[in-house]
Structure 1
Amino acid sequence: MPKSHPPITTIAIALACIGLAVASCKGNHRPEPPASSYSALLDSVDFGDAQLIRQPELLLKPSLSFFSFLENTHQEQPEAIAAFMRKVLDADTAILKYMVDDVIEKYLFEAGSPIRNDHIYRRMIDYVIEDPRIGQLTKNRFSAHAALLDQNMPGSGANNFYFVDKEGVRRQLRDFSAVPVLLYFHNPDCEACKVTTRQLMNSSGLKTAVDNQQIQVIAVYPDPDLKPWRTATFPDKWLNVYAEKPDELNVLYDLRAIPCMYLLDRQNRVRSKDGTIEEVLTTIEKM
């Protein structure tokens, strides 16, 4: 079965508030960037007001606007995140728990969120796990998220793993170092995967690169039930494989949402991590 995204009941509220619609597994729509500075956004909410927990939308909506601001700024991002987290971590206990569990984690990390942002979430994790008011179970969970997000960062060597091809041959990623590699994690039954597969197959630039042995596409099926994998069809020059140890793969690679692509150079260093198909194809053309 394809990977399913975790249910996010509060997303409906947020989407109604900010006029978004979820168009795909990855969520392509984003809130409009707010015009005000982050200071004005933060000052608009009194996180110390314990009564606000009775109207969580009054905490959620400005938080989503703030996340949108963060996504659209780089110079101010570190200090803005620090200011936001100071307010959150100094908040009333019930508000603190709501913000950490039901806003920060749910909207920035969970696979089904239309405003998921691993970079911003990773910065916030450090504040959460260092705060004495946060319970140990929550700290452990956020630490596990940090470990997952820190895997296969651009510029680092890609984690090696074993897979099996259609002929039953066992291989490993590090065997492929003659040319760059596009790791394409997919499930044939996933609707978003079907769209991405068609886009990859219809890319003349990718086809030319594959035909000229300038890149190797490895389509990796990451789930234990092999029935869908056996039905998958790909171009002859792609390598169609399944992960030998799916549970281990999900520790080595962040596969919260599929389709998911990692682009590696000739030394198996990560050039692009979980990029959009447009980003991946553009990078391939420049390699």
Structure 2
Amino acid sequence: MKKDLTIRQILLIALLLGTTIVVSCKKGDRTQSTMATAAPTFPMPPRSLANATERADYVLDNVWNGIAGIDTLTFRDSGEREQFLVNYFGFGVLASERARRASMSKFFELATPAMDSVILSIAGRYFDTPESPLFNQAYFIETYEEADKLGILDYAQQLKLEDRRSLYLKNQAGAAAEDFEYTLANGQTSTLYKTSPGKKLLLMFYDPECNACKDVLEFLSHSEPIQALLGSEVSWLCVYVEHDVETWRKSLSHLPSYAITGRDATGMVTDQSLYDLRVLPVLYLLDEHKRVIIRDAYPQEVESYFAALQEAKP
């Protein structure tokens, strides 16, 4: 299961407000003599910049100043190189899109092809891997788009970018969720949009043999704010997206009796990539019209949302 967003941002803010770190180098047909000979350092933001985003923007706007080129050999070893790039991406989490894109574009202009490969690989591991504490599809897409503008991506990487971009644009907060058909245990079928009309819907894609899925089911089943609204204002739809029907049927008794349980019998959800299900479970909270309230939600986010709903009641 994914790590807590708040903890992630607290660590990054602490980094921004207190430290300097080490950087990297790379690009094109430059000779080694034009490359930086030591790992660059992140600039310290002026004290006048109190806002975390402004401080992160300052770092990204100035990190490549005075750098003639960036190569893999700029660093003592691969560990130092990766640590710098992880820190660099960490600043990007808090920075504006403008600063991230401009800094990344400059990086690719300075970098050798070897460093192009390194940063694209690290971006994939940290931004495109759901288990990563820096997982962020928007930042992954930005990185690959800036590389693509300079003709750096090969055909396979271009296909990966298009796939990630297509998935990312689906089911955004405020947009209508992708509709799909599911099959109930009794063999009847329904669709997302026919499920519990007039109620909010907690949509969960899961696998009963997945330990993280069990943990989330346990959390949701025992959360007082969630339980207080389930049934009256909110319905819960659990959709099995694997192929072992027997395992799914045996697991139904372990699900809450008030949850609507179905499976992706036609493979519609997975085959058409309607939702990004690379790591289960996946949670969405939808409004009464099946518009997305929270996308790819953490259980704690759902709980906080429901608690706020209760507090707002007269």
Q: TM-score, normalised by structure 1?
A: 0.81
Taking the aligned partners of 2:69 and 2:241, their CA distance within structure 1 comes to: 42
Of 162, 165, 173, 2:192 maps to 173
Q: Which moved more, 1:200-209 or 1:76-85?
A: 76-85
Taking the aligned partners of 2:61 and 2:80, their CA distance within structure 1 comes to: 17
* TM-fit CA distance, 1:151: 1.1
Structure 1 gap ranges (5+) = 1-24
Of 267, 279, 282, 1:257 maps to 279
Q: Per-residue displacement from partner, 1:228-251 (whole Å, max 9, x unpaired)?
A: 322322222210111123364360
Structure with higher RCO (Cα < 8 A, 6+ apart): 1
CA contact (8 A) 1:38 1:80 kept: yes
CA contact (8 A) 1:159 1:252 kept: yes
User: What pairs up with 1:36-75 in 2 under 5 angstroms?
Assistant: 36=44, 37-39=59-61, 41-42=63-64, 48-52=70-74, 55-73=77-95
Aligned twin of 1:84:
104
> Residues 170 and 259 from structure 1, CA distance in 2 versus in 1: closer, same or farther, beyond 3 angstroms?
same
CA contact (8 A) 2:61 2:99 kept: no
Taking the aligned partners of 1:279 and 1:62, their CA distance within structure 2 comes to: 31
Q: Which runs of 4 or more aligned residues in structure 1 lie more than 6 Å from their structure 2 counterparts after TM superposition?
A: none
Aligned twin of 2:27:
none
Taking the aligned partners of 1:229 and 1:247, their CA distance within structure 2 comes to: 17
Of 101, 112, 115, 1:95 maps to 115
* TM-fit CA distance, 1:185: 1.2
- Name the aligned partner's letter for residue 179 of structure 2: N
User: What pairs up with 1:1-287 in 2 under 5 angstroms?
Assistant: 25-28=1-4, 30=8, 32-33=11-12, 34-35=15-16, 36=44, 37-39=59-61, 41-42=63-64, 48-52=70-74, 55-73=77-95, 76-100=96-120, 102-176=121-195, 177-212=197-232, 214-232=233-251, 233-246=254-267, 248-249=269-270, 251-287=273-309
Q: Which moved more, 1:266-275 or 1:61-70?
A: 61-70
Structure 2 gap ranges (5+) = 17-43, 45-58, 310-314
Report % sequence identity: 20
- Name the aligned partner's letter for residue 234 of structure 1: L
- Name the aligned partner's letter for residue 291 of structure 2: R
* TM-fit CA distance, 1:171: 0.8
Q: Per-residue displacement from partner, 1:89-119 (whole Å, max 9, x unpaired)?
A: 541011111211x211121002332321223
* TM-fit CA distance, 1:66: 1.8
* TM-fit CA distance, 1:188: 1.3
CA contact (8 A) 1:162 1:170 kept: yes
Q: Which moved more, 1:169-178 or 1:123-132?
A: 123-132
- Name the aligned partner's letter for residue 238 of structure 1: A
CA contact (8 A) 2:174 2:292 kept: yes
State the secondary structure of the residue aligned to 1:262.
Answer: strand
Taking the aligned partners of 1:114 and 1:72, their CA distance within structure 2 comes to: 13
- Name the aligned partner's letter for residue 211 of structure 1: G
- Name the aligned partner's letter for residue 199 of structure 2: V
> Residues 103 and 47 from structure 1, CA distance in 2 versus in 1: closer, same or farther, beyond 3 angstroms?
farther
Aligned length: 259
Bigger Rg over Cα: 2
